[in-house]
């Protein structure tokens, strides 16, 4: 049941984050207005600039405040003057972990009018979603060095997989396949031939959970083969479930076949808590402040957020508007190639979103 009034945290973040978030907020406000929904936006100044200014990444109390919100909309994290990893781990991953957003949901959908690099593939062929485990695996930071900076150095990076973490993610995938109501198929993406402990747990859990969903087809493929088929036969997929690292990799491939980072969005989901929605491309420092970046990915993240909040009609408005602009106005989704500026795209989508 939708509640019609929401408090949403906005973290514009670094680089082009603020530019694309501005357009997403514009579009969401337009759609919300039409549906008599009120959104109160609460801005959080977090990211590279704040870190360089004050040394703070995620100050005390922020996570507790975020837990009181209905959802979070995030722009981008990553600053050219901050060494790689500091902000990504200290902010983005920290939020995912602390808010226990255990699923990273990444739709790979090609809209009519959008170019895909896959010859002979069309919107009917590219329509699936990746359910990436988002709190465990290689991302948990377990491991360490031995004899660092000596010729005998050892570096260990461990993949942590818990029965509970794997099972809740796989259950989410099956529920999602049911709800999606398309091919009703879940494919486990693993590497059981080499990662004989981690993916043994995944596979056993997958097979057990699958028994609870007799109407959903359960399938398995190794991650390398998945990469091949995402290019050769993307029409085979409906829901792909996988671990954190594989999910990270295959969703960049997914973003490319759906038209690029200009349109790829994702949600960090905690079904029992606060979820966070983001465009999946980075902060694109080279385009910062140029009004050239494509805001559609951020707008699509906002669309997913509305859907998650149960605001189906408002979400539908945004989705229809995005489909309209890509069908009619912009052919190339790349930054600087749209034939429109960032704010013009936002204006146009907002305009389409209020039409009936």
Decide if residue 76 touches ligand IPM (CB under 6 A).
Answer: no
- Nearest distance, CB of residue 85 and Mn ion, angstroms: 13
> Which residues lie closer than 8 Å to 167 by C-beta, 6 or more apart?
205, 209
- Select from ligand IPM, Mn ion, none the partner in contact with residue 49, using the beta carbon and a kind-dependent cut-off of 5 to 8 Å: none
Decide if residue 33 touches ligand IPM (CB under 6 A).
Answer: no
Decide if residue 306 touches ligand IPM (CB under 6 A).
Answer: no
User: Judged by CB, which is closer to Mn ion: 69, or 82?
Assistant: 82
d(CA 315, CA 302): 8
> Which residues lie closer than 8 Å to 89 by C-beta, 6 or more apart?
141
Decide if residue 133 touches Mn ion (CB under 5 A).
Answer: no
- Nearest distance, CB of residue 119 and ligand IPM, angstroms: 27
Q: Where are the alpha helices (DSSP H) in 258-341?
A: 296-308, 312-328
- Select from Mn ion, ligand IPM, none the partner in contact with residue 274, using the beta carbon and a kind-dependent cut-off of 5 to 8 Å: none
Q: Which stretch binds ligand IPM (CB under 6 A): 87-95, 165-173, 201-209, 292-300?
A: 87-95
- Nearest distance, CB of residue 128 and ligand IPM, angstroms: 17
User: Judged by CB, which is closer to Mn ion: 123, or 285?
Assistant: 285
> Which member of 133, 243, 248, 311 binds ligand IPM (CB under 6 A)?
248
Decide if residue 19 touches ligand IPM (CB under 6 A).
Answer: no
> Which member of 133, 238, 248, 311 binds Mn ion (CB under 5 A)?
248
- How many residues bind Mn ion, per CB under 5 A? 1
> Which member of 33, 49, 70, 88 binds ligand IPM (CB under 6 A)?
88
Decide if residue 316 touches ligand IPM (CB under 6 A).
Answer: no
User: Judged by CB, which is closer to ligand IPM: 37, or 103?
Assistant: 103
Question: 3-state secondary structure string, the chain?
Answer: CCCCEEEEEEEEECCCHHHHHHHHHHHHHHHHHHCCCEEEEEECCCCHHHHHHHCCCCCCCHHHHHCCCCEEEEEECCCCCCCCCHHHHHHHHHHHHHCCCCEEEEEEECCCCCCCCCCCCCCCCCEEEEEEECCCEHHHCCEEEECCCCCCCEEEECCECCHHHHHHHHHHHHHHHHHHCCCCEEEEEECCCCCCCHHHHHHHHHHHHHHCCCCCEEEEEEHHHHHHHHHHCHHHCCEEEECHHHHHHHHHHHHHHCCCCCCCEEEEECCCCCCEEEECCCCCHHHCCCCCCCCHHHHHHHHHHHHHCCCHHHHHHHHHHHHHHHHHCCCCCCCCCCCCCHHHHHHHHHHHHCCC
> Which member of 58, 66, 92, 338 binds ligand IPM (CB under 6 A)?
92
- Nearest distance, CB of residue 175 and ligand IPM, angstroms: 23
265-269/239-242 β-pairing: unpaired
Decide if residue 243 touches Mn ion (CB under 5 A).
Answer: no
Decide if residue 94 touches ligand IPM (CB under 6 A).
Answer: no
Q: Sketch the per residue contact string, 263 through 302, with ligand IPM: x for CB under 6 A, - otherwise.
A: -----------------x----------------------
Decide if residue 278 touches Mn ion (CB under 5 A).
Answer: no
- Select from Mn ion, ligand IPM, none the partner in contact with residue 88, using the beta carbon and a kind-dependent cut-off of 5 to 8 Å: ligand IPM
Binding site for ligand IPM (CB under 6 A): 88, 92-93, 248, 280
Binding site for Mn ion (CB under 5 A): 248
């Amino acid at each position: 049941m939708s509640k019609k009034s929401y408090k949403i945290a906005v973290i514009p973040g670094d680089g082009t984050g603020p530019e694309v978030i501005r357009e997403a907020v514009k579009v969401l406000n337009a759609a919300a207005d039409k549906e008599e929904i009120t959104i109160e936006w609460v801005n959080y100044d977090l990211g590279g600039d704040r870190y360089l200014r004050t040394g703070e990444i995620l100050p005390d109390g922020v996570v507790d405040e975020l837990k009181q919100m209905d959802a979070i909309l995030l722009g981008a994290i990553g600053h050219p003057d901050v060494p790689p990893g500091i902000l990504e781990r200290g902010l983005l991953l920290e939020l995912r972990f602390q808010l226990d957003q255990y699923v990273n949901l990444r739709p790979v959908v090609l809209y009519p009018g959008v170019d895909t690099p896959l010859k002979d593939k069309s919107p009917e062929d590219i329509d699936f979603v990746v359910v990436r485990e988002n709190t465990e695996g290689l991302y948990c930071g377990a491991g360490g060095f031995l004899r660092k900076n000596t010729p005998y150095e050892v570096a260990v990076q461990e993949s942590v997989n818990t029965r509970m973490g794997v099972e809740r993610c796989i259950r989410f995938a099956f529920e999602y396949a049911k709800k999606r109501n398309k091919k009703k198929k879940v494919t486990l993406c693993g590497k059981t031939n080499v990662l004989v402990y981690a993916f043994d747990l995944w596979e056993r859990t997958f097979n057990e959970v699958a028994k609870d969903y007799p109407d959903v087809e359960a399938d398995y493929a190794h991650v390398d083969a998945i990469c091949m088929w995402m290019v050769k036969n993307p029409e085979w997929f409906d829901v792909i479930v996988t671990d954190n690292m594989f999910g990270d990799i295959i969703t960049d491939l997914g973003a490319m076949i759906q038209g690029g980072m200009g349109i790829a969005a994702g949600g960090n989901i905690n079904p029992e808590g606060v979820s966070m929605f983001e465009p999946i491309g980075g902060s694109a420092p080279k385009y910062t402040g140029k009004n050239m970046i494509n805001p559609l990915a951020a707008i699509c993240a906002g669309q997913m957020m509305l859907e998650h909040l149960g605001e189906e009609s408002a979400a539908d408005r945004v989705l229809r508007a995005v489909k309209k602009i890509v069908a009619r106005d912009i052919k190339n989704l790349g930054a600087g190639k749209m034939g429109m500026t960032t704010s013009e795209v936002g204006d146009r989508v907002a305009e389409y979103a209020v039409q009936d």
